[in-house]
A and B are shown apart, each in its own frame.
Chain A
């Protein structure tokens, strides 16, 4: 037993996919210039929004379900230590092996070592945000192991040497013509006469993946839920590739973020109603696979659970930020976000894009490493209303903005503005001086940044002859 002193650590630099190369405005600049991307995103998010909205409207108790989901997650965070130890004990008792990974480096090393011990040189993967977060594929490749993504969209991303841009639909930025190109270029054994007809593309992926499923002995997955009471893990997916990975191989290695634990089986009743309706717009999730340790003669005979922190304890330490850990990765907030719809996921630089990414990524890495993300929102609040576990993302964005180290000029201007606003006579004089702004003209030509950002597409307001307070005084 070691004694830990000091603040919990954030996710380490140099590993994983939580930090972008550019600030959000710089990355968004490229995305906004890509008309094809804008069309793809608008079409996809509008379709998912409509579908999800219709099935949510069917449930008379949706708001109660949201409240229940929120309360359950709050309970989990308040009891995370004991629930995780309970989960470990149950998984171990059921024949699994539990590993604790403080960060991405530890988790990658544990998984690489486990795979090497099996002698296999490749692994099949179930779509998993946690393994994308820690950069597991990159670590495995560096260690001589070939990871093969089996979720169709993740496969498209992997074959395209690309990054996911959406939590649920990682290739949302691609259309079918682009997918055909990627398959022709990178899919082993692909038919050279491949068309861009969606069933043809799906069949090509199916043929390739079937052969891979049947010839690979190790699988790596994430987990949507880990039930402390029974030691049961759960993965929800739509394509059946997950079911293949979770049942066919000899060895299964699951990487689960520590926040994914839930107390007991009945809790899934709430989450399995919330997740599919908020996420894919389905009433019931198509493939829900659950397993408890090892069952002799049935399914993987070696099961390893890697419990991943990688900054989560640091998030938990902030009372105003910890609800970001309540996220069930449904991506409803992405689909309703007007910023995400226009910039796409890559602009956020992290595997967690959109509103939840803007509050989760900076907390996992420390705000300094993702300082532009809390500002990647107009605070319109659509995400909060859409979240199935009621995460108040706008308030959390505002909270995180207070932790950002502000530019000196901005800080000085904001201080001066606040000082003026707190001295009504000075304020009234400043109001009258605002008339001087007329020299800039309505088009505001020649204004310096940041004001030139406004006048690039918007005229300036006309300064009135008289302020309201002067009018009132003259009545």
Chain B
């Protein structure tokens, strides 16, 4: 299958390993990955901070760059959530009915990585090998906006060598929330502290998730604490073979 990759601005700039892993994984499974160079950012930060007018060109850009493709994948439940549930609304709010219809259509062809694997490519065992103890944090937008359900866990359970340990209060937010982490830094830090306590309590070596943004937050906190737990994107685990 020919799959267009939306790398997301965050993975493209700061976490390229997550995007590279997505490419390696899909190519290993026999698919063709294309990366349209005109892509940048989905605009979620602008939309969620109250700058939908500034986000409009980014919505337009996403729609026009990815409209030619039948299947689009992003290694982020949050960006996919914004594309699928906010792009059309932003366009409609600003009087762009035609764009809204196209955004809705492109959004319906945009998948988060675990959705693409399980629902579209119908694979749960991706042939990965990752000999570590891992706990999985379901990011809020992947869980309650994109609604990936247990698909990431189904994929992780098939990874050879991997010991999956359950994260207590897994579904509670880590406190990132985009600009929330800056505008309400202290509340965000209090939420993160509880999330880290739960992660450390599992005894896992690695905390994984489907969003580089939440992992940046959790990882930044764990590193500050010297907690001895590293954060790794779900795509990197699924791409690992040795």
Contact = CB atoms under 8 A, between A and B. Distances in A.
Partners in one complex: yes
B67 interface: no
A421 B58 contact: yes
B145 A417 contact: no
B225 to A, nearest CB: 9
A466 B15 CA distance: 10
Interface string B128-163: 000000000000110111000000000000000000
Given A380-B140, A381-B144, A461 B14 contact: yes
A447 B82 CA distance: 30
Nearest to A320: B93
A451 interface: yes
B177 A422 contact: no
Nearest to B143: A381
Nearest to B22: A468
B226 to A, nearest CB: 10
B15 A431 contact: no
Given A378-B176, A379-B180, A467-B12, A461 B216 contact: yes
Interface string A384-399: 1100000000010010
Given A377-B180, A453-B181, A418 B54 contact: yes
Given A418-B51, A422-B40, A28 B186 contact: yes
Interface centre among B38, B48, B185 (most CB of A within 10 A): B185
Contacts of A434: 13-14
Interface in B195-242: 216-217, 219-221, 223-224
A28 B184 contact: yes
Q: Give the dominant DSSP class at B's interface.
A: helix
A451 B177 contact: no
B178 interface: yes
A411 B144 CA distance: 29
Interface residues of B, number: 69
Given A401-B48, A457-B192, A464-B14, A338 B172 contact: yes
Given A461-B220, A464-B14, A380 B40 contact: no
Contact of B61 (A28, A379, A422, A469): A422
Interface residues of A, number: 61
Contacts of A376: 184, 187
Given A451-B182, A458-B224, A414 B51 contact: yes
A12 to B, nearest CB: 26
A338 B16 contact: no
Contacts of A467: 12-13, 16
A415 B46 CA distance: 9
Interface string B2-46: 000001010111111101100100000000000101111101011
B76 interface: no
Nearest to A378: B177
B221 to A, nearest CB: 5
Interface in A399-457: 400-404, 406, 411, 414-415, 417-418, 421-422, 424, 427, 431, 434, 442-443, 450-451, 453-454, 456-457
Given A398-B47, A398-B86, A459-B223, A382 B144 contact: yes
Given A464-B16, A472-B35, A454 B191 contact: no
19 contacts: A24-B184, A338-B173, A338-B175, A375-B180, A378-B177, A380-B140, A418-B46, A422-B40, A424-B39, A431-B13, A453-B186, A453-B188, A456-B185, A458-B189, A461-B15, A461-B219, A464-B17, A469-B37, A472-B23
Across chains A and B, which 8 residue pairs bring their CB atoms closest together, nearest first?
Answer: A378-B177, A453-B185, A401-B50, A458-B220, A381-B144, A380-B173, A380-B140, A468-B16
Interface of B: 7, 9, 11-17, 19-20, 23, 35, 37-41, 43, 45-52, 54-55, 57-58, 61, 86, 89, 93, 140-141, 143-145, 171-173, 175-193, 216-217, 219-221, 223-224
